[in-house]
């Protein structure tokens, strides 16, 4: 199992807006080969810290997704988001290999 997280800290007044964006996400990644799970999680202490948590069967599956045309299209849309304050937020991405269960 391969886990990728992407964490952003958004302006507090925009937290609910960002959550709404993810609640209405395209779900295109859900169809990617090797994709297992998507979750948007919220820090319980710092409510404006949001993390996308994705699980993949293998690192190769994740890398194939990152190199796909669909990935490029989705992330190009994010760069052109009308709210430039949100569009300019750079996430902290971390990748993990599950080594024990």
Cα gap 58→22, rounded to integer Å: 24
Band of the pLDDT at 8, cuts 50, 70, 90? very high
Tell the CATH topology of 2-97: Alpha-Beta Plaits (3.30.70)
Q: How many residues are recorded in the chain?
A: 101
As a whole-number percent, the residues of the chain with pLDDT over 70 amount to 94
pLDDT band at residue 97 using 50, 70 and 90 as cut-offs: very high
> Is 40's pLDDT higher than 70?
yes
Write out pLDDT tens, residues 46-90: 999 999 999 999 999 999 999 999 898 887 766 666 677 887 888
Q: What is the predicted pLDDT for the residue at 30?
A: 95
Cβ-based neighbours of 99, under 8 Å, separated by 6 or more: none
Report how far residue 75's alpha carbon sits from residue 28's, in angstroms, rounded to the nearest whole number. 12
């Amino acid at each position: 199992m391969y886990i990728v997280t992407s964490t952003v800290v958004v302006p507090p007044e925009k937290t609910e807006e960002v959550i709404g964006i993810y609640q209405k996400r395209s779900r295109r990644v859900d169809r990617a080969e090797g994709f297992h799970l998507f979750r948007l999680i919220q820090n319980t202490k710092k409510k404006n810290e949001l993390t996308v948590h994705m699980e993949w069967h293998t690192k190769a599956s994740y890398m194939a997704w990152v190199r796909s045309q669909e990935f490029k299209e989705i992330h190009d849309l994010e760069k052109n988001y009308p709210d430039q304050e949100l569009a300019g937020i750079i996430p902290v991405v971390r990748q993990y290999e599950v080594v024990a269960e």
